[in-house]
Amino acid sequence: MGKWKVVVTDWEFESLNYEMDILEHDQIEVLPVQCKSEDEVIAYCQDADAIINQYAPISRNVIESLQHCKVIARYGVGVNTIDVTAATEKGICVTNVPDYCMDEVSDHALALLLSWTRKIPMADKETKQNQWDFKKTRPIHRLRERTLGLIGFGKIPQALAEKVKALGLNVLSYDPYFPEEEAAKHGVKLVSLEDLCRESDIVSVHAPLTESTRGLLGDQEFKLMKDHAFLINTSRGPVVDETSLIDALENNLIAGAALDVVETEPISRDHPFLTMEGVILTPHMAWYSEEAEKEMRSKVAMGVADVLLHDQYPKYLINQKVKETLRLQSNDGGGRYALLSN
Ligand code: NAD
């Protein structure tokens, strides 16, 4: 039998060492390329047995051109680069890594919360450029007993809710799919989106980007917020309507924003956020730590190894329905996930 061909359609790391640690095998050949367009992906992948993907489009056209691919593995959480329906129809497993950076993203949201409320970026700039004068940072208010509103109550905001207990914040959340009694166990009260906007001093966005969450925060929601409130977004830019946010900031409907994600990334060099006093920006880095990167890349490769070498469904199988068309020896979706000593 020939070797299994694994194509890495695109990647932005210094090497593929972690992936190779998992996939180095005499039955596997790894072909790393840097595809941008659909045509390039088709050219390299049509005879692939597995695909590892970052941003290159794995559209229906691409999927229909695949002759014997069994698994498409996406770096990170989102699978918006892949037409999952087309993959399921074609009997191809789609897998991601949903659990590699809960600590990092919740830490980052907390860092943005503290940086914004303690005015750290402004104080740093003033102190280095102008003078040693705390009055430049007025007004700063005590955090204890303020209210944090979490939009979405998945794994990341649950970790954040745990961490902010030490700060003495009250925590509310809007998540229409999360059980109220489970939220109560975390000390968090579930409320409507309107009540969350009205009652929160800090609003932190953690809902995934879907057709129903696109523009979830818009003019209506900003009008309900307190004028001293500020917004944190470590989720996905388009969950917040950017025109409405700019308008809310310019008209002092809210006091500021701390954003790790924006509508179009990378941000354009003439974007209004770049010159706004009350806005802190970071370059979609909340997920990142050396350990999280290693975990994500290793788990992506393991998803491929599970299917090709161990005849198992990957642990993080997104399209469970594929089991109706792609029969693998082990149906439990167990996968090989013992790893990870960093
Ligand atoms: P998760 O999958 O554990 O939870 C998502 C939650 O959102 C679920 O509880 C779901 O019920 C809720 N939800 C779905 N639709 C909603 C809606 N309309 N309104 C409110 N809540 C809704 O997700 P997670 O692990 O907590 O991650 C949250 C998001 O963080 C991810 O979707 C991703 O977009 C983002 N993220 C960002 C980075 C980064 O580097 N900035 C890294 C990882 C994840």
The model's pTM = 0.91
The total number of structural domains in the chain stands at: 2
Coil, helix or strand at residue 7: strand
Torsion, CA 213, CA 91, CA 13, CA 267, rounded to 10 = -30
Instruction: Supply φ then ψ for residue 170, to 5 degrees.
Output: -85, 140
111 CB within 6 A, ligand 1: no
Rounded CA gap, 49 and 7, in Å?
Answer: 8
21 contact partners, CB below 8 Å, separation of at least 6: 298, 301
Residues 53-80, mean pLDDT to the nearest whole number: 95
Question: Residue for token digits 């905001």?
Answer: 157
Query: What pLDDT, in 10s, does the model give residues 199-243?
Result: 999 999 999 988 899 999 999 999 999 999 999 999 999 999 999
By mean pLDDT, which of 220-234, 255-269, 289-303, 325-339 is the weakest? 325-339
Q: Are residues 129 and 15 in the same domain?
A: no
Catalytic residue among 271, 284, 310, 336: 284
For residue 53, pLDDT beyond 60: yes
Grade residue 47 by pLDDT with cuts at 50, 70 and 90: very high
| Cβ atoms of 7 and 31 closer than 8 Å | yes
Rounded CA gap, 187 and 190, in Å?
Answer: 10
Catalytic residue among 108, 146, 186, 236: 236
Residue type, 339: L
Query: What pLDDT, in 10s, does the model give residues 116-141?
Result: 999 999 999 999 998 999 999 999 99
Residues 152-156, mean pLDDT to the nearest whole number: 97
Q: Considering only CA atoms, which residue is closest to atom 42 of ligand 1? A: 287
In the sheet with 4-8, reading across from the earlier edge strand, the strands are 28-32, 4-8, 50-53, 71-74, 93-95
pLDDT, averaged across the chain: 95
pLDDT of residue 342: 31
Coil, helix or strand at residue 79: coil
Q: Is 269 a catalytic residue?
A: no
Q: Are residues 67 and 125 in the same domain?
A: no
Q: How many CB atoms lie within 10 A of CB 130?
A: 9
Q: Are residues 108 and 92 in the same domain?
A: no
CA atoms within 13 A on the CB side of 146: 21
Rounded CA gap, 269 and 289, in Å?
Answer: 26
pLDDT of residue 249: 98
Residues 150-158, mean pLDDT to the nearest whole number: 98
| Cβ atoms of 51 and 23 closer than 8 Å | no
Of 242, 262, 281, the residue at which a domain comes to its end is: 281
CATH number at residue 237: 3.40.50.720
Q: Are residues 306 and 276 in the same domain?
A: no
Of 261, 281, 301, the residue at which a domain comes to its end is: 281
Residue type, 114: L
Q: Considering only CA atoms, which residue is closest to atom 21 of ligand 1? A: 152
155 CB within 6 A, ligand 1: yes
Nearest CA to 75 among 37, 38, 32, 110? 32
Helix (H), strand (E) at residue 28: strand 28-32
Q: Are residues 216 and 149 in the same domain?
A: yes
97 CB within 6 A, ligand 1: no
Q: Are residues 183 and 60 in the same domain?
A: no
In terms of C-beta distances under 8 Å and separation of at least 24 residues, what long-range contacts does 186-191 make, across chains too? 186/153, 186/158, 186/161, 186/162, 187/161, 188/150, 188/153, 188/161, 190/153, 191/149
Q: Are residues 88 and 193 in the same domain?
A: no
Query: What pLDDT, in 10s, does the model give residues 169-204?
Result: 999 999 999 999 999 999 999 999 999 999 999 999
Grade residue 2 by pLDDT with cuts at 50, 70 and 90: confident
Residue in 105, 151, 194, 212 to alter for ligand 1 test, most ligand atoms within 8 A of Cβ: 105
Q: Are residues 222 and 327 in the same domain?
A: no
pLDDT of residue 339: 41
Q: Are residues 31 and 124 in the same domain?
A: no
Grade residue 328 by pLDDT with cuts at 50, 70 and 90: confident
Distance 87 CA to ligand 1 centre (A): 23
316 CB within 6 A, ligand 1: no
Q: Considering only CA atoms, which residue is closest to atom 11 of ligand 1? A: 177
Query: What pLDDT, in 10s, does the model give residues 74-108?
Result: 999 889 899 999 999 999 999 999 999 999 999 99
Question: What range does the domain containing 48 cover?
Answer: 4-100+289-341
200 contact partners, CB below 8 Å, separation of at least 6: 147, 148, 149, 172, 225, 226, 229
Q: Are residues 234 and 293 in the same domain?
A: no
Rounded CA gap, 20 and 30, in Å?
Answer: 8
Q: Are residues 44 and 110 in the same domain?
A: no
Query: What pLDDT, in 10s, does the model give residues 301-311?
Result: 999 999 999 99
Q: Is 186 a catalytic residue?
A: no
Q: Is 141 a catalytic residue?
A: no
